[in-house]
Amino acid sequence: MRSVLTAALLVLVWAIPAHARSPAGWMLELELDGRKIEGMPLAWDREGVCLLGRDGRLWQFAASEAKEYRKTSSRFQSYSTSELRAMLLRDLGERYEVSGTGHYLVAHPRGERSQWRERFEDLYRSFVHYFSVRGFDLEEPPCPLIGVVCRNQREFFEYSASRGLPAGYGVLGSYSVESNRIVLYDVSGGTSDAAGWEDTASTIIHEATHQTAFNTGVHSRFTTPPLWVAEGLATMFEASGVYNSRSFTGEGDRINRQRLRHFNELVVPQHKPELLAALVASDRLFRTHPSVAYSTAWALTFYLMETDRGKYADYLARTAARPPFQAYTAAERTADFTAVFGDDWRMLEARLLRFIAGLK
What is the reported pLDDT for 230? 97
Share of the chain above pLDDT 90, in %: 60
Share of the chain above pLDDT 70, in %: 88
Residues of the chain with CATH 3.40.30.160: 81-215
What is the reported pLDDT for 333? 98
Q: Which residue would you say has higher pLDDT here, 171 or 340?
A: 340
Averaged pLDDT of the chain = 87
Residue 293 has pLDDT above 60, yes or no: yes
Residue 3 has pLDDT above 50, yes or no: no
Q: What is the CATH number of domain 2-73?
A: 2.30.30.520
Partnered with residue 159 across adjacent β-strands are none
Residue 4 has pLDDT above 50, yes or no: no
What is the reported pLDDT for 21? 40
Q: What is the pLDDT of residues 176-223, one digit of tens each?
A: 999 999 999 877 665 555 555 566 778 889 999 999 999 999 999 988
What is the reported pLDDT for 44? 72
Section 24-40 average pLDDT: 87
Q: What is the pLDDT of residues 82-127, one digit of tens each?
A: 999 999 999 998 889 999 888 999 999 888 876 787 889 999 999 9
CATH of 81-215, one of 3.40.30.160, 3.40.47.10, 3.40.50.300, 3.40.50.720: 3.40.30.160
Q: How much is the pTM?
A: 0.88
What is the reported pLDDT for 195? 53
Residues of the chain with CATH 2.30.30.520: 2-73
